[in-house]
Every structure is written in structure tokens, then in C-alpha cells.
Amino acid sequence: MEPFRILRDLLLEESGSSLTIIQTRSFSTFVNFSALDSITAQLNIHDNTKLMNVDGLSSLRSAGSLFVGDNHSLTSVKGLMSIAST
């Protein structure tokens, strides 16, 4: 079982630390993260072979830092456009 399957049904509003989504095999989009408003530390999204977009993160307004890389199927990062720069 992939670690994300455990998280997919949670209603996450804020992360007091980092959120890392790495090396998922079947994860193609963010689902049920629409309430996530802020991440105090890092948001890391990398090495997800089937991730096509991050639209489910469109409610995210702040993150301490952001790293997105090596998501070879990723065609859109529009879901990250609401993050305010600091």
C-alpha cells in the first residue's frame, strides 16, 4: 500500500511541519486537499511518475518553502498559483 492512500481521506487544513509527496506510483492528482491553507515548513512534491497536476492544492496560501521536481507527467502547476511569496 502506498503511503498516500492512508492520507487521501483526511481533511487537512494546516500542516505545522512539512508535507512530502514522493515516489507514488499511481497518484495522478491531489484529491481531498482542498481545505489545506498553509504549510509552515516545506512542501515537497517529487519523483511522482504519474502526477499530472496539482490543482487540488489551489486553496494553499502559504508554504515555508516549495520544491517540485522530477514529476515527469506533470503538465500544470496552476494549483500552486495562490501561494503568496514571502
Residue 2 phi/psi, 5° resolution? -75, 145
pLDDT at residue 85, rounded to an integer: 63
* Nine cell digits for residue 64: 515555508
Whether residue 68 lies inside any domain: the answer is yes
Check residue 4 and give its pLDDT: 42
Q: What is the pLDDT of residue 52?
A: 94
Q: What domain count does the chain have?
A: 1
The predicted-structure confidence for 26-69, as pLDDT tens digits, reads as follows 888 877 677 888 888 889 999 999 999 999 899 999 999 999 99
Query: Tens digit of pLDDT for each residue in 3-27?
Result: 444 444 444 445 567 888 888 888 8
Q: Is residue 85 part of a domain?
A: no
Look up the domain containing 13 and give its range.
3-80
Give a yes or no: residue 86 inside a domain. no
30 is a domain residue: yes
The whole-angstrom separation of Cα 26 and Cα 43 is 20
Kindly report the pTM of this predicted structure.
0.77
Q: What amino acid occupies position 71?
A: N
End-to-end CA distance of the chain: give it in Å, rounded.
37
Q: What is the pLDDT of residue 61?
A: 93
